[in-house]
A and B are shown apart, each in its own frame.
Chain A
Amino acid sequence: MATAQPGTAAAPPVGTGPSGPDPDRWRRRATTFAFLAPAVLFLVVWLVYPTLQTIVRSFFGRSGSDFVGVDNYQALFTTDTLLKAIENNVLWVAVVPVLVTAIGLIFAVLTERVAWATAFKICVFMPMAISMFAAGVIWRVMDDQDPARGTVNAAIKVVKDAFSESGVLTTGQPSSALLTGSVASGFVLKRQVGPGQTALLGLTAIPPDGVPAGAQQAATPPVKPDGISGTVWRDFKPGGGVPGRVEPQETGLPGVTVALRDPGGGTVATTKTGPDGGFSFDEVKPGGYRVAIAKETFAAPYEGTAWLGSKLITPAVMIAYIWVWAGFAMVIIAAGLASLSREVLEAARMDGSSEWQVFRRVTVPMLAPILSVVFITMIINVLKVFDVVLAVAPGSSQDDANVIALAMWRTSFGGVNDFGLGSAIAVLLFILVIPALALNVRRFRRES
């Protein structure tokens, strides 16, 4: 940006200087006044006066007529929800500006290598145009806990299912004392079995709609001379029946993982039951074995991560925020990158430096001023974060997602309506941006 020299650039036409009564001078003063007055009025009435008024107000109580000293500031650092807000804001400042700057840098450097850089930039920059609030709504829908609806959890479910199947049963109990164990560890038959014998693994406490699809009438297992066969079935029929015996109207449990273990507990083989609950291990070496329903049978399906719950809400809001601001960082850094001297980069490459070395030793140091501008801008932005929290966090987790700007609003207008404490929070926010303010002024002074 060009910096004109104020004071030297504008040479007034004639009759400068404070010498003598000068009709022209008064006319010029009037002109200046006409140009400046509207802006000054806005700045004084809406920015300067309220700032001072807020500082004064922060020393008064809720009603505004009682001077309470620093009570509001004391409350600020002792009230749980406000402490949580400060703590969260510290986390925001520690995490988000670094991430946004780093992502912006990576994107900016990578886009230099592709022909469709402009299209990519538009994709990433686009969220900047929409409101933080709308972005928050978007992520609230994305973060829905039900994997059937929430995009994030749906993606996680796809990945999880690719690596491990969920079990066919959710619950169950042994139908008789022959079987021991639990849903968490699986069930094992107490009696050892050998080739030529059968194993009956009866389960109860399975609700009718918990029976896997395709289940048929359970069948008594056929005896195999050199193998072990058996049945896993729902050992219950209307009226009760006899526990431990396969009876009509009792259904097999298909898809159950059955493990054959040696007496030491090591798994020899596994198989799955058929539609009638039957399974068999063929060509088993002579000896005693234990037959077990493996715990995988009861592996719970993925229920979805509670992004909007109290534990993950702050990371969830941060993701939405980074999604919006990464484009800002990218565009600013890309502009800086484009203005870097190509010769220096090329020279480094010619010297045989790897791309990574060029990036680490040349690009990043040369970009340092721009990176710091982005970083500081992001710190200021993050201190003021408000809308996105309100949009992403449901009412139940807003206390956990609280940040200073939101706490200020909720304290002043969101039900509590304590203008004294609200003013104190606003003053805290103001104090926090003062370093940035000082930095801005210094940078400006240096340039002019």
Chain B
Amino acid sequence: MATTVPTASTVPARPKVIRDPADRPMARVMRVLRRGPVQLLLGVIALLWLVPTFGLLLTSLLPAELITEQGWWRGLSEPSVLTLENYRQLFANNDLTTALITTAEIAVGNTVLLVIVASLAGYAFAWLEFPGRDALFVVVVGLLVVPLQVALIPIFSLYDSTGLFDTVLGLILFHTAFGMPFGIFLLRNFFASIPKDILESARIDGASEARIFFSLMLPLGLPAIASLAIFQFLWTWNDLIVALTFGRDTQPITVAIFSQLRQFGSNIELIAPASFVSLAIPLLVFLAFQRYFVQGLLAGSVK
């Protein structure tokens, strides 16, 4: 698997085969000038991509009475109108803090559970011999694309009869299960790429499989485990459909915003800051652990 993410900095510079006139200072200036349009175009695109999120941030900072009249740019032309009042109101409301805690419980809980269960299975698929191993792994690969809509109705009935409906645990278990195929796939491939000799010598030394797993595989597999954890955390933090289906009072932040959205128009001053809070945390996680996130992405789709 790709352990380093190729970014611009790791791309090897184009080899200069011959020192041709193109390397003279004048020509270099010309080349930069020729690239001007590309620079400008990319600048505009980057701006276009940032404006929506930035706009939501400024909207959330506008006083409630201005939101219905004007767009976020009012905050640019007249920054003095910006206020944290909406956020103060939001956090004064217990529903939102409860929703944030529920979201965190679900996201952290299922991520931890998934990492444990999937790395155990990933190790088994990579290094333990058992009958039907390859066939079983093919099933896991097949399950990668199963849409979760397929499970909603039976699990709804199951949760209803077992008391898991409207509980954080029910949501955690569902998310863990649907992260499982990707988790096993990612970790099995990573574990399998660890050199055989390391494992062999540990086995010859008489180490048990459990010991090999905990003191050898887990530390070595940390980069892949980090990728999986970040992926799953973001995925479940951002979930709407699962929580909407299996929860009523157990509301993560997305569901809380969604129920506000149903009466849209009158309460953007509530929805905008709530949405911004809900996206700020995954955004921070993403910015902090970008590298792992992109690795997971590459491992999942590029072979």
Binding site for B on A (CB under 8 A): 1-4, 6-7, 9-13, 16, 28-29, 31-32, 34-36, 38-40, 42-43, 45-51, 53-54, 57, 107, 110-115, 117-135, 137-142, 144, 148-151, 154, 323, 326-328, 331-332, 334-336, 338-339, 342-343, 346, 350, 370, 373-374, 377, 380, 383-384, 386-387, 390-391, 394-395, 405, 408-409, 412-413, 419, 422-423, 425-427, 429-430, 433, 436-437, 440-441, 443-445, 447-448
Contact = CB atoms under 8 A, between A and B. Distances in A.
Interface in B1-22: 1-2, 5-12, 14-15, 17
Given A54-B153, A138-B275, A373-B302, A1 B189 contact: yes
Contact of A29 (B130, B184, B238, B303): B130
B33 interface: no
A110 B196 contact: no
A132 B147 contact: no
B145 A436 contact: yes
Contact of A441 (B6, B138, B279, B282): B138
Contact of A433 (B46, B49, B147, B239): B147
Interface in B228-262: 234, 237-241, 244-245, 254, 257-258, 261-262
Given A43-B143, A138-B55, A384-B147, A110 B38 contact: yes
B81 to A, nearest CB: 15
B127 A38 contact: no
A346 to B, nearest CB: 6
A332 B301 contact: yes
Interface string B251-286: 000100110011010001001100100110011011
A127 B124 CA distance: 36
B29 interface: no
Interface of B: 1-2, 5-12, 14-15, 17, 35, 38-39, 41-42, 45-46, 49-53, 55-56, 59, 67-73, 116-118, 120-121, 123-130, 133-134, 137-147, 149-156, 158, 173-174, 176-178, 180-181, 184, 189, 192-193, 196, 199-200, 203-204, 208-210, 213, 234, 237-241, 244-245, 254, 257-258, 261-262, 264, 268, 271-272, 275, 278-279, 282-283, 285-287, 290, 293-294, 297-299, 301-303
Contacts of A131: 237-240, 254, 278-279, 282
Given A38-B117, A114-B39, A6 B192 contact: yes
A197 to B, nearest CB: 48
Contact of B142 (A335, A429, A440, A448): A440
B150 A50 contact: yes
Nearest to B67: A149
4 tightest A-B CB contacts, nearest first: A131-B238, A4-B192, A46-B177, A129-B286
Contacts of A40: 121
A339 B123 CA distance: 29
Given A10-B129, A54-B153, A127-B53, A346 B17 contact: yes
B232 to A, nearest CB: 13
Given A35-B123, A39-B118, A405 B149 contact: yes
Contact of A6 (B137, B178, B299): B137
Contacts of A129: 234, 279, 282-283, 285-287, 293
Contacts of A422: 152-153
A121 B7 contact: yes
B1 A2 contact: yes
A288 to B, nearest CB: 51
Contacts of B121: 35-36, 38-40
Contact of B173 (A46, A137, A141): A46
A405 B147 contact: yes
Given A35-B124, A51-B151, 11 more contacts: A10-B196, A32-B129, A42-B176, A50-B150, A138-B53, A141-B56, A346-B17, A387-B240, A391-B258, A409-B241, A412-B156
Given A42-B176, A323-B49, A390-B240, A409 B302 contact: no
B145 A437 contact: yes
A371 B284 CA distance: 29
Contacts of A7: 129, 133-134
A327 B183 CA distance: 22
Given A35-B123, A57-B154, A47 B147 contact: no
A47 B177 contact: yes
B282 to A, nearest CB: 5
A154 B73 CA distance: 10
A3 B147 contact: no
B71 A150 contact: yes
A331 B275 contact: no
B192 A45 contact: no
Contacts of A383: 147
A445 B138 contact: yes
Given A1-B299, A346-B14, A386 B241 contact: yes
Nearest to A444: B141
Contacts of B192: 2-4, 6, 9
Contacts of A373: 301-303
Contacts of A332: 297-298, 301-302
A128 B53 CA distance: 12
Contact of A377 (B116, B127, B142, B301): B301
Nearest to A6: B134
Contact of A151 (B55, B120, B254): B55
Count chain B CB atoms within 10 A of each CB in A43, A110, A342, A437 and give the residue with the most: A43
B297 A331 contact: yes
A42 B268 CA distance: 40
A10 B126 contact: yes
A91 B60 CA distance: 34
B146 A1 contact: no
Contacts of A115: 8
B301 A35 contact: no
Contacts of A119: 46
B237 to A, nearest CB: 7
B178 A137 contact: no
Nearest to A54: B150
A130 B238 contact: yes
B35 A50 contact: no
A429 to B, nearest CB: 5
Contacts of B134: 6-7, 448
Given A1-B189, A413-B245, A426-B153, A132 B238 contact: yes
B91 to A, nearest CB: 18
